[in-house]
Amino acid sequence: MTATDSAAAAALQQALAAENSAVYGYGVAGAHLTGARRAAAVRNWVGHQNARDALTAMLAARGAQPVAAAAVYELPFSVHSAAAAVALVTLLEDRLSAAYLGLVGLDDPALRAFGARAVRAAALRAATWRRGTLAFPGLDVPAPRAPGPASQGSGSPAPSGHAHGKPTPSHPG
């Protein structure tokens, strides 16, 4: 395997890992959503399963062993409400943008184009959830934060990177 091949395989693995988390996360989030938002979550959940399968096939075609999904993922914050569910799927889409942007940094023009389409698709889903836009999807990914009581998720992203509800994993033990 050449250096170019292994860089491509590594970037595809990153994208696959992000899709695996998205499939898991949408499964969790969907349970807390109703109506149109639940329908959108289900649609995206299926979409992420398809993307996961496509990436798995791309890796297999390159002779690489696709990363396996974990049985359980640690969530960045607890998800017990619709607002937290929306915050979770928004975060997952932001992270997908970042993972697919890795493919755009490769030499292969076909993988670049594939990555750029996927970044755009993830950014569009994220914008639908947050009802706002980011200046640099995938490049400047906002830190995960659980929705606070006053947080509405409207308008464009508040550049409030302050310590509010920082989603660091809970203290071990």
Partner 1 sequence: MARDATRRRVLTAAAAALPLIAAGCKGIAALGTPPKPAPDVTVATDAIAVETQLIARYGDVLAANPGLATALRPLLAQHHEHLARLHARLIVPVGGQPLPTPRATPRPTGQVPGTQAAALGYLRDAEDAASDALLTHLATAPPSLAQLLASISASEATHALILGTAARHS
Contact residues toward partner 1 (CB under 8 A) are 97, 101, 104-107, 109, 112-113, 115-116, 119-120, 122-124, 126-128, 131-139, 155-156
Could you tell me the two tokens for 121?
């698709």
C-alpha to C-alpha distance for 81 and 146, rounded to whole angstroms: 10
For partner 1, give the closer residue by CB, 78 or 152.
Answer: 152
- Shortest separation between residue 73's beta carbon and partner 1, angstroms: 25
For partner 1, give the closer residue by CB, 148 or 155.
Answer: 155
- Shortest separation between residue 143's beta carbon and partner 1, angstroms: 17
C-alpha to C-alpha distance for 125 and 46, rounded to whole angstroms: 13
Radius of gyration of the chain (CA): 16
Could you tell me the two tokens for 9?
């395989």
- Shortest separation between residue 90's beta carbon and partner 1, angstroms: 12
For partner 1, give the closer residue by CB, 51 or 79.
Answer: 51
Whether the CB-CB separation of 86 and 37 falls below 8 Å is answered with yes
- Shortest separation between residue 74's beta carbon and partner 1, angstroms: 27
Could you tell me the two tokens for 3?
């250096």
